[in-house]
Structure 1
Amino acid sequence: MTPADEAATACERIIRTLQADERVPAISAAVTRADRPAWTFHIGDAGAGRPVRPATQFRIGSVTKTFTAVLVLQLRDAGMLDLDDQLDAHLALPAHGQLTIRSVLNHTSGLQREPWGNLWDTIDVPDGPRLLEEVAKAEAVLSPRRRWHYSNLGFALLGHLVAAKTGSSWPDVLQDRLLTPLGLTDTTVQPRDDAAQGYLVEAYSDFARPEPHFDLAGAAAAAQLWSTADDMARWALFLAQPDPAVIARSTLEEMYEPVVVTDPVHWHTGWGLGLQVAPQGIGSDRAIDIGHNGAMPGFLAGVWCRRGVTIGAAVLGSSGTAGGIVAAPHQLIAASLREDPMDVEPFVIGDAAPREYAGILGRWWSEGSEFVFRWTKGHLEARSASAVAAAPPAVFAFEAPDLLRTVSGREAGERLELFRDPDGTVSYMRWATYRFTRDQETYA
């Protein structure tokens, strides 16, 4: 067997085991890598005895939020809004307009979880005008920025904000700005006729009861979309390796940065700007997966990429109770990389560091700890000597003679100042005001 065959066998076994053990009527799964052909696998009954096919759509629920978040960041990058703007700077609201766009994106707005009313009890979903009108009845259940609190209502409002800023509808903006440019032809706002049926699989029998399919109407931007595993794995790969014509890599990296944890005890998941951040492994095997899970009646979905690796995975299932569905993408990523590691990129001779800054390169010490500064791919970067491989380096940009600015990674935004002896040698540096010297030194 080739490594690719080994990976395919391992991934298929993960999905077959999940489908059997957690009694999922239908599962569709895919892994997409930049360096390999896509792997897909489909198993089960999509409803009425129909086999699952590659084009079978499943409801992806809150994975929809990742699309809405990218649309908001596109508008920010176009200068149409600022993330620290209040909602009511761009969207007329009867209440809660003082909440910032940023706080809604990372679920720290304190806004109640759902639109006003008992949506999940009555399946009475408000249309757009009614949802906005009933915002006046919604509660602020926590003070803004107090802690993480998931809010579908918040993301519904972001969808209306996108529509207000573009003069179009959220579905049309989604199609024009994301689905069409990325070729996600199997991702739709409304399900196709042959979409999978979602089920509630009874706990103590093998009977599966169909769940209703309904339109989220005014809350569509939070959880409306239907898609296939192949489309979602390619969306996950886009989140790892964006098309710069759609969104800048620096913007996606901004979205990755966790600003709050979802669980104050276990700290197993963080939240960036519309994206979940899930650490995987420990020690030197530490990795970070970026993505989102989704749930709607009868469906669960997990769509994830791995930070710093061009790989994405998606698992879509037609059971609302099989929690292994949302764990499986992480398992697929791990199995694919374990059995068939990424190609090793060859070393390519690069340009020399600018002559006046060559003296920066090498080992430096600060607070008793060792750092390594290197010139690579046309920029200066630094890493702690003890950093795990998955940790991104600090990257610097030149701002003035002997003054650089950290543009990403550790101490992002801080200055790196160079101090020279009379002969021009860099004798020490200050990074974020901390002294860096060639040898270990005390503060004295």
Structure 2
Amino acid sequence: MLPTTSSALLRRVAVEQADSRAPSLIAAVVRGGETLWTGARGRVDGARPSADTQYRIGSITKTFVAVLVLRLRDEGRLDLNDPLDKHVPGTSLGHLTVAQLLAHTGGLTSESPGAWWERAEGADWQALAGSLTDGALRHRAGARFHYSNVGYGVLGELVARLRGVTWLEALSAEVLEPLGLTRTTPHPRAPHALGWAVHPYADVLLNEPTPDSGAMAPAGQLWSTANDLARWTRFLAGDTGEVLHPDTVAEMREPAHVDDGDAWTAGYGLGLQAFRDSGRRLTGHGGSMPGFLASVVADPRTTTGALVLTNSTTGVGVMTVALDLLKLVDEYEPALPAEWLPMERADPTLMALTGPWYWGPTPYALHLMPNGWLNLRPVNGSGRASRFRPEPDGTWTGLDGYYSGETLRVIHRPDGTPAALDLATFIFTRTPYDPTAPVPGGVDDQGWHGGSPPLRNF
């Protein structure tokens, strides 16, 4: 990055580390397929932390577990609407769906019953399941967002049941190894930071414990590095390799529930947090465990992302810093739009679909995209718009907005030319209310005319 950009980024990190009295803090910025910048302050073992220094990442672990669950969904091993009892029978939570557990909308208690799980040695699945009595449900399922660490302990067991190995073994084989995340582990490996609590009224430290969380580990067990989380941030922005289809990650990013209604700024999707900040739609996750705080955030539109790691229990605004780093990069070095290149070839039958179409009297334009995708948008720029992905049966499936998931098909005339588009039963015609097209309810045989309509005899 330009020296002025690097200086501004480092200053933001330095101010946070000093003002928040963080023992150490490291941050990074990514864009496209590379890490553009890293910066660190403070000390780990007497030296400035590097991009290979491990920190505990807390609830960012949940994003990895969610990816494992969505892989199972994409393979047809489960449906997000499946009740838990279908795959993990015998619990008091059997009526909750997989999607509700992923999105924290099942009403499940936030923490596991018993001792403070983040500081206590964790028990096995049987002990956790046995502790989840009827009192573990705090809200009606689906009624509201209620963050639940317990829910991700349950999802870890779901993965283990369907894979026949532990969730950590599945994670290593299916996600960490393919993406090259060699320094993301369930337990620390040198070089790593120690977790500290900073005294509120004196500049002294207290070491925090880092026990194995047992069955609750899927909620926050993992350790990672700036290098590894930079690759994970790129993954969340859409650079998914062969681990998940980008459309699935986009599905994970969509908020299933929001915290603040119509003017929402924060919500939660399928294992990913959603943010609206300074006109941008962002995704990511925060993490905290005793002695550690972490955050990752990405802008899928520009592929710019930021991450922050620190070894302090509280008091460091890691998510705020990550958002500020994104703002600084956008201000100093905004992302360039993707370079436009023409398609190598276009199917003549698809070319025949391009151009103006009308939903009633409203003009739309259909644009042909690479790989047979279609883009249907109102000519005036406002209204229902969507991209459509081709399907093997000759139809298209909507990917955005109002028509997401809906089917678009072409209605042909006897001579094979396109007469109309059927989009979720709405008929689009080549001219406004084309009388030769199959418009439901028919088209007034008086046609278009000026002034008052003629009187009819009834």
Q: Partner amino acid for 2:104?
A: H
Give the conservation status (yes or no) of the 8 Å contact 1:396–1:405.
yes
Runs (5+) with no aligned partner, structure 1? none
Q: Partner amino acid for 1:432?
A: A
CA distance in 1, matches of 2:14, 2:114: 40
Match of 1:191 among 188, 195, 203: 188
Alignment partner of 1:40 is 2:32? no
Alignment partner of 1:312 is 2:310? no
Q: Percent identity?
A: 36
Q: Which residue of 2 aligns with 1:332?
A: 325
Give the conservation status (yes or no) of the 8 Å contact 2:120–2:213.
no
Relative to 1, partners in 2 of residues 1:154 and 1:280: Cα closer, same or farther, differing over 3 Å? same
Give the conservation status (yes or no) of the 8 Å contact 2:398–2:408.
no
CA distance in 1, matches of 2:393, 2:173: 41
- Deviation digits for residues 7-46 of structure 1, max 9, x if unmatched? 3222212211221222222111112222555421121023
1:231-250 aligned at under 5 Å gives the runs 231-250=228-247
Q: Which residue of 1 aligns with 2:449?
A: none
CA distance in 2, matches of 1:147, 1:304: 24
Relative to 1, partners in 2 of residues 1:413 and 1:6: Cα closer, same or farther, differing over 3 Å? same
Give the conservation status (yes or no) of the 8 Å contact 2:386–2:398.
no
CA distance in 2, matches of 1:102, 1:354: 39
Match of 1:216 among 210, 213, 220: 213
Match of 1:142 among 121, 139, 143: 139
Q: In the comparison of the two structures, how many residue pairs are matched?
A: 433
CA distance in 2, matches of 1:211, 1:368: 66
Relative to 1, partners in 2 of residues 1:162 and 1:409: Cα closer, same or farther, differing over 3 Å? same
TM-superposed CA distance for 1:167, in Å, is 1.4
Q: Partner amino acid for 2:6?
A: A
CA distance in 1, matches of 2:70, 2:108: 21
Relative to 1, partners in 2 of residues 1:266 and 1:217: Cα closer, same or farther, differing over 3 Å? farther
CA distance in 2, matches of 1:399, 1:51: 55
1:269-280 aligned at under 5 Å gives the runs 269-280=266-277
TM-superposed CA distance for 1:160, in Å, is 1.0
Match of 1:341 among 322, 334, 337: 334
1:375-394 aligned at under 5 Å gives the runs 375-378=368-371, 379-384=373-378, 393-394=386-387
RMSD of the alignment, in Å?
A: 3.0
Runs (5+) with no aligned partner, structure 2? 434-442, 445-458
CA distance in 2, matches of 1:292, 1:392: 29
CA distance in 2, matches of 1:288, 1:392: 18
Give the conservation status (yes or no) of the 8 Å contact 2:365–2:376.
yes
Alignment partner of 1:406 is 2:397? yes
Query: What is the DSSP-based 3-state SS (H/G/I as helix, E as strand, rest coil) of the residue aligned with 1:64?
Result: helix
TM-superposed CA distance for 1:208, in Å, is 3.5
CA distance in 2, matches of 1:212, 1:405: 54
Give the conservation status (yes or no) of the 8 Å contact 2:294–2:318.
yes
TM-superposed CA distance for 1:103, in Å, is 0.9
Match of 1:17 among 9, 15, 18: 15
Q: Which residue of 1 aligns with 2:407?
A: 415
Give the conservation status (yes or no) of the 8 Å contact 2:121–2:213.
no
CA distance in 2, matches of 1:121, 1:157: 16
Q: Which residue of 1 aligns with 2:456?
A: none
Relative to 1, partners in 2 of residues 1:127 and 1:360: Cα closer, same or farther, differing over 3 Å? same
Q: Partner amino acid for 1:433?
A: T
Give the conservation status (yes or no) of the 8 Å contact 1:26–1:43.
yes
Q: Which residue of 2 aligns with 1:60?
A: 57
CA distance in 2, matches of 1:366, 1:175: 50
Give the conservation status (yes or no) of the 8 Å contact 1:406–1:413.
yes
CA distance in 2, matches of 1:376, 1:58: 43
Relative to 1, partners in 2 of residues 1:265 and 1:197: Cα closer, same or farther, differing over 3 Å? farther
TM-score, normalization: structure 2? 0.85
Q: Which residue of 1 aligns with 2:425?
A: 433
Q: Partner amino acid for 2:400?
A: G
- Deviation digits for residues 362-388 of structure 1, max 9, x if unmatched? 344547765432112122122345669
TM-score, normalization: structure 1? 0.87
CA distance in 1, matches of 2:196, 2:431: 64
Give the conservation status (yes or no) of the 8 Å contact 1:116–1:138.
no
Relative to 1, partners in 2 of residues 1:124 and 1:36: Cα closer, same or farther, differing over 3 Å? closer
TM-superposed CA distance for 1:300, in Å, is 1.3
Q: Partner amino acid for 1:41?
A: G
CA distance in 2, matches of 1:139, 1:85: 20
Match of 2:343 among 344, 350, 369: 350
TM-superposed CA distance for 1:426, in Å, is 4.9
CA distance in 1, matches of 2:166, 2:385: 38
TM-superposed CA distance for 1:122, in Å, is 7.2
Q: Which residue of 2 aligns with 1:158?
A: 155
Moved more, 233-242 or 263-272: 263-272
TM-superposed CA distance for 1:266, in Å, is 5.4
Moved more, 198-207 or 176-185: 198-207
- Deviation digits for residues 62-107 of structure 1, max 9, x if unmatched? 0000000001111222222222212122223331112111110111
Match of 1:203 among 200, 204, 215: 200
Q: Partner amino acid for 1:409?
A: D
TM-superposed CA distance for 1:209, in Å, is 3.1
Match of 1:295 among 272, 279, 288: 288
CA distance in 2, matches of 1:277, 1:88: 29
CA distance in 2, matches of 1:32, 1:122: 33
Relative to 1, partners in 2 of residues 1:435 and 1:206: Cα closer, same or farther, differing over 3 Å? farther
- Deviation digits for residues 304-363 of structure 1, max 9, x if unmatched? 221233333210112232352112222223322432333444332215543334343234
TM-superposed CA distance for 1:273, in Å, is 0.9
TM-superposed CA distance for 1:295, in Å, is 1.0
